[in-house]
Structure 1
């Protein structure tokens, strides 16, 4: 017993030293600021957490943690915690971002070199948000079917109404999909409407595009199967998704409509009244930098909003095409659309998808 007791006390200084070291380590961990960022999970989350955030963390001695979810999920969380935000930065689709700004959930992004470099279409009013990746909704088509039928690639949104596509048009629901909404709004413009007046589109649809539609789908998830089974000939889609489908061996091609594709931006905003306002601004600035955007392009297939992002290989071709199509791309009036969309959705569901 005596020998055991003496041995125990002999070890006490070591135990005390280890305890002191553990405590100092815990204190150090507590001093590392942590930023929580809301964004889509999957490929996007993986690209950012593996190839973008580590450089920021090293530069600023910080930790970035992703809160995964859809744009609607992230917006709901931000709104629920408006008085005491749990997140510092959030990624939202452009239409939902405009809603978030209107709710007072975002703070103005500070001027920076990177912010000044991004495309004008990626800068939101008063710099309350900024685009981190760029896309556009145009037309896509079943390349195998078109080749077998001897059809030329589509060139206009009105090709959706071509009688030869009867029963072969697949259209995403306007009430649940940005792609469907974009396609309908472009059709509406051709009919003489605008983003505040959709009467011409609703009036013309049942006798033009409507008879050609095989199915209205809630999202694009079902498209790959419908292309492979030969059900789908033509449909609204983005060049990025077309590229991803082609990599899987699905016979699909993108076709830029002559009337213009619709700009689709994934945007970020610094959340108002968050606990790390300065560091959050630094993160938002960093995410617009050429190096950050080049990494997300390479590892996440996200098209840069900063044209100075270095690109190479197949990515260079894709970005060059996007830059070319951006010259005729349409930016829609999200404030008017968000104000009227509930009524439009109800009308769409009752009269188009009835």
Structure 2
């Protein structure tokens, strides 16, 4: 399994066997720093910015206090879920971070233990937990709209204010849309367009019916995920697309002309949830790390290091916190919450239909 942070031996030996593998290759004589008491916890999460943020800014305090090493297993939510499911009888991870919709699936599969009661867990609002205390948000987010400020200025276009703007004919060829089967951003946007056309999560006929002559007529390209967006903004291909405040901040940090726009109908809640893996071999230590990650101190580090919007309302916001982050905290109060039980039951059929009728 591929690991970040230069842990090359893990891929050859398996996650849990990484230290043992090194010893088998004759490393005993020069590894006195790896004590018999030190342990390793493996956390599945998105790679890139999130991985760097937690490895550089959040995990070190816990590692030092508990004589433990925390190693990230990078991947998308779907990737992480598949890895955990494949090893459910002998888990190779201890904690996973998943988008809220995917976390519902993980819990339904019996892959998560209930989070242990703790002062930190009590501080997380009820609407930022799943099924009681089976999972809790380490970061809050929402899918809204992002737009190319350079293009909008040159064209004299007003800032977008509604999900319906995705179907405005003046944006023909300049809407970039993430594929519904592979992207939560795309799924969120489609479901909001569906609602505007009279649909619900239980009835997506209005969304599919309106797509071809509405939003679909404006889409310049469907992309599997958001990785290409920075290039497409830079080249002027992307004018308007579903996004989150955090992603917009990442793009802006690269010098790209992008801003976030909050739709008047509301953005869609997109929380990053954590759960402790059932049957893992370090249940007490994993629960301790899970509680730590919910604490104001840990979430403040994630905010400062990676613009992660804290789920714990007691997390201090420094005076120099970006204005978009402060607005996003307010946006979270009005975020639209989707019915993930209905969505997860029907999503495979939606994906098949999407592939046949939209991205043919």
Taking structure 1 as the reference length, the TM-score comes to: 0.88
1:127-146 correspondence runs (5 A): 127-146=133-152
Contact 2:185 2:243 in 1 (8 A): yes
Q: Does 1:283 align with 2:286?
A: no
Q: Does 1:307 align with 2:313?
A: yes
Alignment counterpart, residue 205 of structure 1, candidates 193, 207, 211: 211
Find the residue that maps to 2:336 and give its secondary structure. coil
Counterpart-to-counterpart distance in 2, 1:45 and 1:167: 34
Counterpart-to-counterpart distance in 1, 2:334 and 2:276: 30
Q: CA 1:314 to 1:351, structure 2 compared with 1: closer, same or farther past 3 Å?
A: farther
- Farther-moved stretch of structure 1 (199-208 vs 182-191): 199-208
Which of the pair is proportionally richer in helix?
A: 1
Q: Does 1:84 align with 2:84?
A: no
Q: Does 1:263 align with 2:269?
A: yes
Counterpart-to-counterpart distance in 2, 1:233 and 1:314: 29
- Farther-moved stretch of structure 1 (190-199 vs 117-126): 117-126
- Farther-moved stretch of structure 1 (32-41 vs 194-203): 32-41
Counterpart-to-counterpart distance in 2, 1:165 and 1:69: 33
Encode CA deviations 1:130-188: one digit per residue, 9 max, x unaligned. 11112111011111111122211011000111121122211111111111111000001
Q: How many residues align?
A: 332
Partner of 1:75: 81
Q: Does 1:116 align with 2:122?
A: yes
Taking structure 2 as the reference length, the TM-score comes to: 0.87
Counterpart-to-counterpart distance in 1, 2:119 and 2:43: 22
Aligned structure 1 segments of 4 or more residues deviating by more than 3 angstroms: 25-28
Tell me how far 1:208 sits from its aligned partner: 1.5
Partner of 1:219: 225
- Farther-moved stretch of structure 1 (113-122 vs 186-195): 113-122
Partner of 2:10: none
Q: CA 1:275 to 1:27, structure 2 compared with 1: closer, same or farther past 3 Å?
A: farther
Q: CA 1:136 to 1:100, structure 2 compared with 1: closer, same or farther past 3 Å?
A: same
Counterpart-to-counterpart distance in 2, 1:69 and 1:151: 37
Tell me how far 1:50 sits from its aligned partner: 2.5
Q: Does 1:333 align with 2:339?
A: yes
Partner of 1:170: 176
Find the residue that maps to 1:126 and give its secondary structure. coil
Counterpart-to-counterpart distance in 1, 2:60 and 2:239: 43
Q: Does 1:161 align with 2:167?
A: yes
What stretches of structure 2 of length at least 5 have no aligned partner? 1-27
Counterpart-to-counterpart distance in 2, 1:348 and 1:105: 29
Q: CA 1:45 to 1:168, structure 2 compared with 1: closer, same or farther past 3 Å?
A: closer
Tell me how far 1:266 sits from its aligned partner: 1.4
Encode CA deviations 1:171-230: one digit per residue, 9 max, x unaligned. 111111111111000001111111121111111111221211111111122222222222
Q: CA 1:50 to 1:212, structure 2 compared with 1: closer, same or farther past 3 Å?
A: closer
Contact 2:199 2:207 in 1 (8 A): yes
Alignment counterpart, residue 153 of structure 2, candidates 135, 147, 153: 147
Contact 2:249 2:307 in 1 (8 A): no
What stretches of structure 1 of length at least 5 have no aligned partner? 1-21
Compare CA radii of gyration and give the structure with the larger one.
1
Q: CA 1:58 to 1:226, structure 2 compared with 1: closer, same or farther past 3 Å?
A: closer
Find the residue that maps to 2:271 and give its secondary structure. strand
RMSD: 2.0
Partner of 1:29: 35
Find the residue that maps to 2:157 and give its secondary structure. coil
- Farther-moved stretch of structure 1 (323-332 vs 33-42): 33-42
Tell me how far 1:313 sits from its aligned partner: 4.4
Find the residue that maps to 2:232 and give its secondary structure. helix
Counterpart-to-counterpart distance in 1, 2:176 and 2:315: 35
Contact 1:32 1:63 in 2 (8 A): yes
Tell me how far 1:54 sits from its aligned partner: 2.1
